Structure 1
Amino acid sequence: MSKKSTLLIVDDEVANIEIMNAVLEAQYEICFATSGEEALELARDVLPDLILLDVLMPGMDGYQVCDVLKRDPLLADVPVIFITGLDDQDAEQRGLALGAMDYVTKPIRPVSLRAKVANHIEMKRMRDTLAELAVTDALTGLNNRRKMDDVLRHQVSQLARTRDWLSVVMIDIDFFKLFNDTYGHPEGDRCITMVASALNRAVHRAADVKVRYGGEEFACILPQTDPQGAIQVAHDIKRQVEMLHIPHEKSTVSPYVTVSVGVASALCRPSIRHDEWVRHADRQLYISKQNGRDRISAVSFEPETA
């Protein structure tokens, strides 16, 4: 069974929320907010698939909320349908100019509301599918480097609220150029896919993100993982790769394929650059390779603010 799409209903009148909830709850997961400020906070927490947004609200009105949503990289692609009692073209044009996808007027007509929500949910699914293809590595099925950047930015922002740990692990297949030169590129591709499978077996929490960073290099993003936990994951990755027993006669550290690993961990705080984790993990990977490869180096660092 596919997961239900999530709708965020924003209206300062609870009665209006109840009406829309009754119309839509059978098909969708519903959450709601009664103010613009609450809506923005909730949207960042749940990342809804669509937002039904009232225009006339005290404090931040719907236009202001929509403007903030469309400026937020995490929420800019979430479709917004304005819901209002204003039945004039000027109001509609203003909403559409801000980035809203559609407009529904009160009183709510259930058939029209269901149809518009269903249409925009389906269009979002199609866009999400195309976007997922753009951030997926074709050889391994792992996320690619572009996806890693997006996930890191999001995780740093989320974990900064609770000042929680975030760890990044960088992995490199040892002497991979020699492997390619000895066994050929098809076997090199097979080696990469097998290491990717080992990575999947070692890193299996739903929140963890596995990435083919480029060539023979991989990475993992581990939210809410402290230094000790991240080092344990690194050992699990290394062990899973060793268990593959992929022959590598040109390696100077083992008769089989091995990996070098760099680990970086830090407590998230507001205004921290998300690329700090990659920079430190990459440095630790370099140290592992300089110190003989087939090993793990790790650091717990104090991140710089942007």
Structure 2
Amino acid sequence: MDLAQTLPPGTPLGDALERRPRLLVVDDQPVNVQLLYRVFASDHQVFAATDGLKALEIARQQQPDLILLDVVMPGLDGFEVCQRLQADELTHDIPVIFLTANSDPDSEAHGLDVGAVDFIGKPFNTKVVRARVKTHLTLKRQGDLLRRWVFLDGLTGIANRRHFDERLAIEWARSQRSGAPLSALLIDVDHFKRFNDTHGHQNGDDCVRRVAAALASGLQRPTDLVARYGGEEFVCLLTDTDEYGALHLAELLRQRVHQETQPGVTGAAWPAVTVSIGVGCARLDLMHGADDLLREADHNLYRAKKAGRNSVRAGVA
């Protein structure tokens, strides 16, 4: 049985499986990029880079499903790019197919050692490229489903607490190394006990699912993560996001949840719900660990509720 068939309909992971696969084409020769774009553009979302550093940036931001990577490039060559992709927690599961005019056994062995899944010789046959890409995308999809199933919340289809905790540790360490901003949002459905008492637990579960879907669809970048934190509480992890950006997104999410849970949208008999949101922003000079980031978000969530709920609070107060 396909694991995708067991996902709750309308969940973020289930919706992600329906989108076009994302390919990143990396080659310093524009003619090769253009050719591969024509081959795949009709049924894939294609990104392109002509150097290794740009390829690493796009891979991290866009999270492609597969990378077609030239070996010989100025600056970072394909082998070095592949090694860096493998070393990054956000990109090490992306399969890499090398495109190369050098097909000697030593080069192929080195490419496999640094993490590539396949080699295609230049000049390449477009039918062969399509067939190889299809095979590795199928394998990637199956692997993603198995990995995500472990980190999936069964009710909502978004990430669970375990996944969030692992990502938080990774992103906190990265933020400490690079000085990049990192923010978190703690989100709680207002008056949820009253909702359950009035409308029943089945409608309560439906409400939690709809709030999760609204939050997931409101995130703006593939590197942002929303997870179910427990009960009717959610958490968002926002990489490379300062307090201003986190506050802005939190307000958009607050509005989106209210809009997406309107009876006219859901068809449900229960009224629209609201959420309160607390913002935490990494302050590396003041915080000793990732728990301090969550404590700040939790403190601001308390402030939002104390202010009357259906609101957002940030800052140190």
TM-score normalised by the chain length of structure 1: 0.68
State the percentage of identical aligned residues.
32
Residue from 30, 37, 42 that aligns with 1:26: 42
- CA positional deviation for 1:200: 4.7
Which residue does the alignment assign to 1:205?
218
Residue from 83, 88, 95 that aligns with 1:67: 83
Matched, 1:299 2:299: no
Q: The residue matched to 2:148 in structure 1 has which SS?
A: helix
Contact 2:192–2:232 (CA under 8 A) maintained in structure 1: no
Amino acid at match of 1:29: Q
Which residue does the alignment assign to 2:145?
129
Matched, 1:35 2:35: no
Residue from 139, 161, 172 that aligns with 1:145: 161
Contact 1:8–1:31 (CA under 8 A) maintained in structure 2: yes
Contact 2:218–2:256 (CA under 8 A) maintained in structure 1: no
- CA positional deviation for 1:24: 3.2
Residues 27-70 of structure 1, C-alpha deviations (whole Å, 9 max, x = no match): 32322222222221222232221111111222211111110010
Contact 1:265–1:299 (CA under 8 A) maintained in structure 2: yes
Matched, 1:56 2:66: no
- CA positional deviation for 1:109: 1.9
- Change beyond 3 A, Cα 1:52–1:173: same
Residues 169-205 of structure 1, C-alpha deviations (whole Å, 9 max, x = no match): 23277796x999x99xxx6576354344356568852
Residue from 118, 136, 158 that aligns with 1:120: 136
CA RMSD of aligned residues (A): 4.6
Contact 2:247–2:312 (CA under 8 A) maintained in structure 1: no
Amino acid at match of 2:138: E
- Change beyond 3 A, Cα 1:54–1:279: same
Hey, what's the Cα distance between the residues in 1 that align with 2:257 and 2:47? 39
Amino acid at match of 1:194: C
Hey, what's the Cα distance between the residues in 1 that align with 2:131 and 2:98? 15
Contact 1:259–1:293 (CA under 8 A) maintained in structure 2: no
Q: The residue matched to 2:33 in structure 1 has which SS?
A: helix
Residues 128-149 of structure 1, C-alpha deviations (whole Å, 9 max, x = no match): 2223322321123343123435
Which residue does the alignment assign to 2:187?
170
1:1-306 matches, cutoff 5 A: 2-149=18-165, 166=183, 168-171=185-188, 191-198=204-211, 200=213, 205-207=218-220, 210-220=226-236, 225-227=245-247, 230=250, 261=276, 263-266=278-281, 277-285=293-301, 298-301=313-316
- Change beyond 3 A, Cα 1:5–1:301: farther
- CA positional deviation for 1:117: 0.8
- CA positional deviation for 1:106: 1.5
- Change beyond 3 A, Cα 1:10–1:203: closer
Amino acid at match of 1:17: V
- CA positional deviation for 1:13: 2.5
Contact 1:231–1:298 (CA under 8 A) maintained in structure 2: no
Residues 43-100 of structure 1, C-alpha deviations (whole Å, 9 max, x = no match): 2232221111111222211111110010011111110001111122111111111111
Which residue does the alignment assign to 1:251?
none
Q: How many equivalent residue pairs?
A: 280
Q: The residue matched to 1:48 in structure 2 has which SS?
A: coil
Amino acid at match of 2:62: V
Hey, what's the Cα distance between the residues in 2 that align with 1:13 and 1:239? 47
In structure 2, list runs of 5 or more residues that go unmatched: 1-16
Which residue does the alignment assign to 2:4?
none
Amino acid at match of 1:108: F
